[in-house]
Amino acid sequence: MRYDVVIIGAGLGGLECGVLLSRRGKRVCVLEKEHLVGGCLQAYRRGKHDFDTGFHYVGGLDEGQKLHSLFSNLGLCDLPWHRMNRDCFDRIVIDGEEYDYPMGFDNFEQRMTSYFPHEAQGIRQYVTLLREIAEHIGDTAHSLPLFNISAKQWLEERIADRKLIKVLCGASLKMELSPRLPLYTFAQINSSFIQSAYRLKGSGQQVADRLAELIRHNGGEVRVKAKVENLEENDTHITAAILDNGERLEADIFIADIHPAAAMTLLQDSKLVKRIQRNRFARLDNTYGMLTVSLILKGDGIPYNDRNTYVYDGIDDFWNPEQMAQGNAVLITERYEATDRCHQIDILTPVIWQEVEQWQDTHVMHRGHDYELWKQRRAQKAISLAQNVLFETKKQGTKNKEQRSEASVNDLIDKIYVSSPLTYRDYTATAQGSAYGIRKDCENIMFTLLSPRTAAPNLLLTGQNLNLHGILGTSMTAQMTVEEVEKMEIEKLRNN
């Protein structure tokens, strides 16, 4: 079979590229090795319940904001999106003290200043930065200099109160904080959620399924259980993708929506991409992964909270990934079902690869007793950290919170399902089960901020590993990859 474009991997970036290119009249084929499309958007089913793999909420979806523009172009705005609590979409709990994030830059500045009036100037500078990024998002000339600045250093130069810095970093389990995290990455993600935050009624699989439907509607193909074993090439370009069943798919352009290191394994004997270049991708550091503890509650569940809660206990250095991954940091997110009751909850906590590396040669459901014990211990620690804010009640007629005992909390839980970075690795082919892809380094940005182009003239990359991760970042990167396809076509016309 021959196509204009073959896309390897049906994660968000690959599917978005497929929609945009098929709409332009390209004959597109998207290949996915799993039985479901979506990558980290995938939902899996246990009993009568659907669980999200990595999708929980999005930022910047109000009309006039960047994600709304991208999703409108992709036909995703009419999905059942739900705007979260405007006054508190994220709650940050640090050593028992609570701080709320409201939507809107003015509201956010006022709220933070009410908590830390002595830091009004530093807060104003931070919010000004968030505004500027929102106004210039997609402007390379504006964003590139901010990739060369450390977010940690920028904040510490403007804010003396270390607790305030922790609060401003408190919603940052959406990324991996590290001393050399670029300022743009940190600020762009926080900026988008402070603009507006939305949940989706039901699972994130709806996003992936809609994109796949649009590709097919445009005349393209989306194939599951179609694993690419290698890419065939001649002296000048990639010629075909070879599937594990021996099928050969020819195309003019190939796009890899998989980890760049995984893409390079498809080019083992390549003359177009030299071994030293392939090895460079394999040596890049990856961000930590996540342990996800999914809870099913008994009976009527608990009152639904239209916010996420980030809980930290006894962490001195938020910028140390290893310290953050010791089990003392969790993100609690509730499933939105358009009722006033909650029946499903996800608790996420960071895990560094070294903690699960001993089981790296195992596969799902066949990792052994020691691994199951490790998961149980880690899950119980996450539940224990979350319980004081998750299962709180209020005494009638008072504002005082009454915390349930650990025993009564366990009485509320019907079932517990746990996944680790190994699970993410096996289902999404993400190196080391990384939650946010390749670790960006403000002091080495030329090697960690990747271009869609590769040394093979007709092989492009897309996905969260290139520039920005998350729903917004990946969507922007997909748009960049499609723009590179258009540039390649113009170059081809000029050369002819």
Q: What is the CATH number of the domain that holds 444?
A: 3.50.50.60
Long-range (24+ apart) CB contacts under 8 A made by 132-138 are 133/184, 133/187, 133/188, 133/191, 134/60, 134/65, 134/66, 134/105, 134/191, 134/192, 134/195, 137/66, 137/188, 137/191, 137/476, 138/66, 138/476
Residues 284-297 as b or e (16 or more Cβ within 10 Å = b): bbbbbbbbbbbbbb
Q: Do the domain assignments include residue 67? A: no
> Is 142 in the same domain as 20?
no
> Is 233 in the same domain as 260?
yes
> Is 459 in the same domain as 400?
no
Q: Do the domain assignments include residue 247? A: yes
> Where is the domain boundary, 147, 177, 200?
200
> Is 120 in the same domain as 234?
no
> Is 262 in the same domain as 382?
no
CB atoms within 10 A of CB 113: 17
> Is 407 in the same domain as 447?
no
Phi, psi of 105 (to 5 degrees): -60, -45
> Is 142 in the same domain as 186?
yes
- The CA distance from 301 to 316, in Å, is 34
Phi, psi of 257 (to 5 degrees): -100, 50
Question: Tokens in use for 309?
Answer: 């809660």
Collapse the DSSP code of 261 into the 3-class scheme (helix H, G, I; strand E, B; otherwise coil) and give the result: helix
Beta strands per DSSP E along 244-343: 248-256, 289-297, 302-303, 308-312, 329-334, 341-342
Q: Do the domain assignments include residue 316? A: yes
**Which residue has 């796949």 as its token pair?**
212
The pLDDT value recorded for residue 402 is 46
- Enclosing domain of residue 489: 2-55+203-285+438-495
Contact 264, 254 (CB under 8 A): no
Q: Do the domain assignments include residue 431? A: no
In the chain, the amino acid numbered 323 is Q
> Where is the domain boundary, 390, 419, 448?
419
Q: Do the domain assignments include residue 132? A: yes
> Is 413 in the same domain as 301?
yes
> Is 395 in the same domain as 470?
no
Question: Tokens in use for 110?
Answer: 């006022």
The pLDDT value recorded for residue 76 is 97
Rg (CA), the chain: 23
Q: Do the domain assignments include residue 326? A: yes
The pLDDT value recorded for residue 195 is 98
The pLDDT value recorded for residue 128 is 98
Adjacent-strand bridge partners of 242: 230, 248
For the chain, the first-to-last Cα distance in angstroms comes to 25
Considering the entire predicted model, what is its pTM? 0.92
Phi, psi of 137 (to 5 degrees): -60, 135
- Closest Cα partner for 171 from 240, 90, 244, 111? 90
- Closest Cα partner for 44 from 470, 426, 432, 478? 426
Domain count within the chain: 3
H or E stretch covering 416: strand 413-419
Contact 255, 10 (CB under 8 A): no
Q: What is the pLDDT along the chain (496 residues), one digit of tens a residue?
A: 899 999 999 999 999 999 999 999 999 999 999 999 998 888 887 777 788 888 899 999 999 999 999 999 999 999 999 999 999 999 999 999 999 999 999 999 999 999 999 999 999 999 999 999 999 998 888 888 999 999 999 999 999 999 999 999 999 899 999 999 999 999 999 999 999 999 999 889 999 999 999 999 999 999 999 999 999 999 999 999 999 999 999 999 999 999 999 999 999 889 999 888 888 888 899 999 999 999 999 988 888 889 999 999 999 999 999 999 999 999 999 988 878 888 999 999 999 999 999 999 999 889 999 999 999 999 999 999 998 787 654 333 334 454 545 445 668 899 999 999 999 888 887 889 999 999 999 999 888 888 999 999 999 999 999 988 899 999 999 999 999 999 988 887 877 6
- Closest Cα partner for 88 from 52, 115, 121? 115
> Is 250 in the same domain as 296?
no
> Is 103 in the same domain as 217?
no
C-alpha to C-alpha distances, 461 to 7, 215, 272, 279, 480, nearest whole angstrom = 9, 19, 15, 16, 10
> Is 327 in the same domain as 409?
yes
